[in-house]
Structure 1
Amino acid sequence: MSLLRVCGLSRSFGGLKAVDNVSFDLEAGELLALLGPNGAGKSTCFNMVNGQLPPSSGSIRLDGQELVGMRPREIWRLGVGRTFQIAATFNSMTVIENVQMALVSRERQTFGLWKPTRSRYADEALALLDQVGMAAEANRACGVLAYGDVKRVELAIALANRPKLLLMDEPTAGMAPKERNELMALTRRLVTDHKIGVLFTEHSMDVVFAYADRMIVLARGKLIAEGDAESIRNDPRVQEVYFGTGKTFQPHASLHEAAGGHQGHGARP
């Protein structure tokens, strides 16, 4: 059984079909990139998996359990972590306090904070920071960190819930090339060590081709290609969407069954 199974997922806004009958699977220990030009439906699809948007139709199953109809908090408690395009940390709190707050939330103790947070789960928080290379910065305020380091802290916060599935929304946005590669290499190591499935959106094609196991490509809400880097790179529909007008592609009705591509261009969608 796949870790994540998305079947016939659709979402309409009035007369606009933002996501149109999209299906894909994600295995434990796999990095799957969700790609497409602006307006392709990536964010809508991503937010439906996370529970922030209800689908108009379709199914989203995590380890066989249906997620449609659940709130984001409920989905998080089932083992779905998330990082954001703009890193979400408390700037006035120290690095370790940010992770401790995530651990307190995991243990459902956020309504009993008469005991100072700094005394709770400090060892576990430090261990998580060590995994992402931030243990030495544990007592610094997040607000003074370089952006790449903040992204590492955010990753530690996401790992605090021991996720089975990690959703990463443009994890390297705003980062320099060296920082991008360091963060994705770290993510790859954590995925391998803990068998976490990762679904991520990303505009930097060098990152995608270097680290994604597979890719799925959306255009105008439809799934138009999926597979490894080489097949995605050579797919004429993907080339048209990324480098042509994007107006004439004809999605294959049975594309999900015909999977098999990765990708590779240095262009940004």
Structure 2
Amino acid sequence: MSAILETRGLTKTFGGLTAVDDVSFALQKGELLAMIGPNGAGKSTCFNMLMGQLPPTSGAVYLDGEVITGLGPRQIWRRGVGRTFQITATYASMTVVENVQMALLSHNGEIFRVLPFAHRMHRDRALALLDMVGMAAQADRHCAVLAYGDLKRMELAIALAHDPKLLLMDEPTAGMAPRERLALMELTARIVAEQGVSVLFTEHDMDVVFGHAHRIMVLNRGALIAEGNAAEIRANPLVQDVYLGGGTVFGRAEKTDA
């Protein structure tokens, strides 16, 4: 297997605080990789560097063997990297299918050229994407009336509209009921298997992580402290002490995510 995403010595400091500390890992093609850790471990900071929202203090990020360190979010997106966020951001005044159509228009560079006719463009492809995530029946509903779990599934369809080779999912099940969480990750795992998309996701729900991730890496105080499959992570004494035993970091509760 070859790595779709790789980091080498990725580090981010804010003044005297080291939020991400010399993190190196590789995500293989077609892999579902979970990044876990207590609040304040540096997961979101790491994600923001991968997607270009934050420049690293040192280290490098590679996509398909090409250095993407220093590129902006749009440049990285154009190279085939999609992202979903902890809090969904959609056009509430538009319908579900129109939101996906807008993503397809952006992917094709047509936003400004055909904006007056946007509602007619790429509707069939948008409906196919919504069908993939189980939202085709709600295609013509306005986003403002959707349940939160449905918004999350629509956000996944929007991310897939770019036909990404890599998908970064930051807390994809945040705010969802337990049954909805498992259903969303089952859907994601199916897309990984069927479409060959590689996924890196952060998550606090251990049922989701252990039930679906091919491999898990654990951050603590910005550093990568463990990596392995579900059984190896469960059995790791340091992980048990730091994370699984109550969400504390060496006995001190963390309150904010770096």
Which of the five TM-score ranges fits, normalised by the shorter chain?
over 0.9
Superposed CA deviations along residues 214-260 of structure 1, whole A, max 9, x for unmatched, are: 01101011100000011111111111112275338xxxxxxxxxxxx
Give the TM-score taking structure 2 as reference length. 0.94
Shift in alpha-carbon separation, 1:145–1:221, aligned structure 2, 3 A:
same
Query: In 1, distance between residues paired with 2:99 and 2:222?
Result: 36
Q: Which residue pairs with 2:254 in the alignment? A: none
- Tell me the CA shift for residue 114 of structure 1: 4.4
In the alignment of these two chains, the number of paired residues is 248
Match of 2:13 in 1: 12
Q: Secondary structure at the match of 2:3?
A: coil
Alignment of 1:27-38 (within 5 A): 27-38=28-39
Q: Which residue of 2 aligns with 1:247?
A: 250
Question: How far off its partner does 1:115 sit?
Answer: 3.4
Structure 2: how far apart are the matches of 1:87 and 1:114?
A: 23
Check conservation: 2:38, 2:249, Cα contact below 8 A.
no
SS in 1 for 2:41: coil
Is residue 83 of structure 1 aligned with residue 66 of structure 2?
Answer: no
Contact 2:135 2:150 in 1 (8 A): yes
1:233 partnered with 2:205 = no
The one-character-per-residue Cα deviations of 1:74-101 (angstroms, maximum 9, x if unpaired) are 1001000011111121111000000000
Aligned-pair RMSD on alpha carbons? Answer: 1.2
Are the counterparts in 1 of residues 90 and 143 from structure 2 also a CA contact under 8 Å?
A: yes
Task: Structure 1 unaligned segments of length 5 or more: list them.
Answer: 249-269
Local SS of the residue matching 2:19: strand
Instruction: Report the Cα distance in structure 2 between the residues aligned to 1:197 and 1:78, rounded to whole angstroms.
Output: 14
Larger relative contact order, structure 1 or 2 (CA cutoff 8 Å, min sep 6): 2
1:50 counterpart residue number: 51
1:148 equivalent to 2:114? Answer no
Measure how far apart 1:102 and its partner are: 0.3
Q: Tell me the amino acid that sits aligned with residue 85 of structure 2.
A: F
1:111 shift after superposition:
2.0
Name the aligned partner's letter for residue 216 of structure 2: M
Residue 153 of structure 1 aligns to which amino acid in structure 2? M
CA distance in 1, matches of 2:119, 2:175: 31
Percent identity of paired positions between Structure 1 and Structure 2: 63
Aligned to 2:73: 72
Name the amino acid aligned to 2:92: N
Superposed, 1:1-269 pairs within 5 Å as 1-242=2-243, 243=245, 246-247=249-250
